Amino acid sequence: MKKFQEYLKSELAAIETAGLYKNERIIVTPQQAIIRIADGQEVINLCANNYLGLSNHPRLIQAAQTAINERGYGMSSVRFICGTQDLHKELEAAISRYFRTDDAILYAACFDANGGVFEPLFDERDAIISDALNHASIIDGVRLCKAQRFRYANADMDELENCLKTARSQRFRIIVTDGVFSMDGNVAPVDKICSLAEQYDALVMVDESHSAGVVGRTGRGVSEHFNTYGRIDIYTGTLGKAFGGAIGGFTAGRQEIIAMLRQRSRPYLFSNSIPPAVAKAGIEAFKMLDESDALHHRQQENVRYFVDRMLAAGFDIKPTQSAICAVMLYDAKLSQTFADRMLDEGIYVVGFYYPVVPQGQARIRVQLSAAHEQPHLDKAIEAFVKVGKELEIIRNT
Ligand SMILES: *Cc1c(COP(=O)(O)O)cnc(C)c1O
């Protein structure tokens, strides 16, 4: 152990020296537009995945409390032994209605959904073709599967077509993409992906974690946005972002696929089922979204409001089609200084730099939410302008 401890110490020191050490900021309030951090400072939060403002919504809290009272705290079982309640089935039905699929299967997280989707369905005779910017959980899921692996540059349809040609002799092919890429906020060209899939006889899987609740006329994700209903075979997604932000993930898709996952997907078979309170709050979230598009509308308005004013102020913003807005600073150190100064101004944002984004592409990532009100955004923009001038990012006019 002593040697091992020494080894870990030096590795940790190297992480710190490289400036890559992740410190966690401690929050002492619910997740919402204004949060209080441990030193007592109140800040406007622009870095949660709380896209629809449901993380602290009274209806979800009420639903979770009801479930705790009626169904207790935990299930102490996996689904196939004694861990399935009617609530789990209702939530799966709500998810498959939302995405208009045959069925859906719950996991403890989308990380597990992606970790458990490939290995039961594909083997060495098959090919998985993956966007280079796909989420870590997709990369890990692919690693657990014996299928041949192909990778194309982000949203590059020529490279994707080349992969499809190379993979022609495999038994089955599946193209896998994030719906929205988390660092740029761009939407995957899912319509083109579906067309190539049809041309080269491939399946399509989309991870909707950052797109569901955001993309599409009423926020129902990439198929609503591109009208690709019936052309996507597998959706994965999380309950940890737009849909309440607690915990839980899912895979939705064609009946046979979901049926096979229930039989063979290891994170489903060998991991606890989600607590009744989380299931019931999830059901309530989808019910709310069925009743009204108001939250999605508010979020979209907020994105437009923020982006328009930031562009007018002279900031360099990546074109976004989601609730993610990348304020480009390019320099790693500058991104950290900028974020620190923003916190002094009462705005909580995070600067991202290599290796999370490409070398020389450092940025502040802003995530807009239906929880934000106009005064929050005005204050945030004001702070961006103040710090931007101070650090000579934008001109002092
Ligand atoms: C956040 C995210 C996940 C992980 O979701 P969890 O439910 O938190 O495990 C998976 N895929 C993508 C694309 C994500 O953005």
Tell me if 208 sits within 8 A of 222, measured CB to CB: yes
Phi and psi torsions of 206, nearest 5°: -125, 130
Ligand 1 lined by 211 (C-beta under 6 Å): no
> SS in 3 state form for the chain?
CHHHHHHHHHHHHHHHHCCCCCCCCCECCCCCCEEEECCCCEEEECCCCCCCCCCCCHHHHHHHHHHHHHHCCCCCCCCCCCCCCHHHHHHHHHHHHHHCCCEEEEECCHHHHHHCCCCCCCCCCCEEEEECCCCHHHHHHHHCCCCEEEEECCCCHHHHHHHHHHHHHCCCEEEEEECECCCCCCECCHHHHHHHHHHCCCEEEEECCCCCCCCCCCCCCHHHHHCCCCCCCEEEEECCCCCCCCCCEEEEECHHHHHHHHHHCHHHHCCCCCCHHHHHHHHHHHHHHHHCCHHHHHHHHHHHHHHHHHHHCCCCECCCCCCEEEEEEECHHHHHHHHHHHHHCCEECEEECCCCCCCCCEEEEEECCCCCCHHHHHHHHHHHHHHHHHCCCCCCC
Q: Whose CA is nearest to atom 5 of ligand 1?
A: 110
What is the C-alpha separation between 53 and 145, in angstroms, rounded?
Answer: 36
**What does each of the 397 residues of the chain score in pLDDT, given as a tens digit?**
999 999 999 999 999 998 888 889 999 999 999 999 999 999 999 999 999 999 999 999 999 999 999 999 999 999 999 999 999 999 999 999 999 999 999 999 999 999 999 999 999 999 999 999 999 999 999 999 999 999 999 999 999 999 999 999 999 999 999 999 999 999 999 999 999 999 999 999 999 999 999 999 999 999 999 999 999 999 999 999 999 999 999 999 999 999 999 999 999 999 999 999 999 999 999 999 999 999 999 999 999 999 999 999 999 999 999 999 999 999 999 999 999 999 999 999 999 999 899 999 999 999 999 999 999 999 999 999 999 999 999 986 6
Taking alpha carbons only, the member of 237, 236, 234, 229 closest to residue 254 is: 234
In the chain, where does the domain assigned CATH 3.90.1150.10 lie?
18-47+293-390
CB count, 10 Å around CB of 290? Answer: 12
Set 55, 96, 182, 209: catalytic member: 182
Instruction: Specify the pLDDT at position 18.
Output: 84
What is the C-alpha separation between 261 and 33, in angstroms, rounded?
Answer: 38
Counting from 1 in the atom list of ligand 1, the atom nearest the Cα of 134 is 13
Please tell me the distance between residue 330's alpha carbon and the centre of ligand 1 in angstroms.
26
Tell me if 141 sits within 8 A of 116, measured CB to CB: yes
Ligand 1 lined by 115 (C-beta under 6 Å): no
CATH 1.10.3860.10 fits 58-291, yes or no: no
Distance of CA 300 to the CA centre of its chain: 17
Catalytic: 241? yes
Instruction: Specify the pLDDT at position 371.
Output: 98
Catalytic: 182? yes
Q: Which residues pair with 173 in a beta bridge?
A: 127
In the chain, where does the domain assigned CATH 3.40.640.10 lie?
58-291
CATH number of 18-47+293-390: 3.90.1150.10
Counting from 1 in the atom list of ligand 1, the atom nearest the Cα of 247 is 7
Please tell me the distance between residue 112's alpha carbon and the centre of ligand 1 in angstroms.
9
Count, residues in the chain: 397
pTM: 0.97
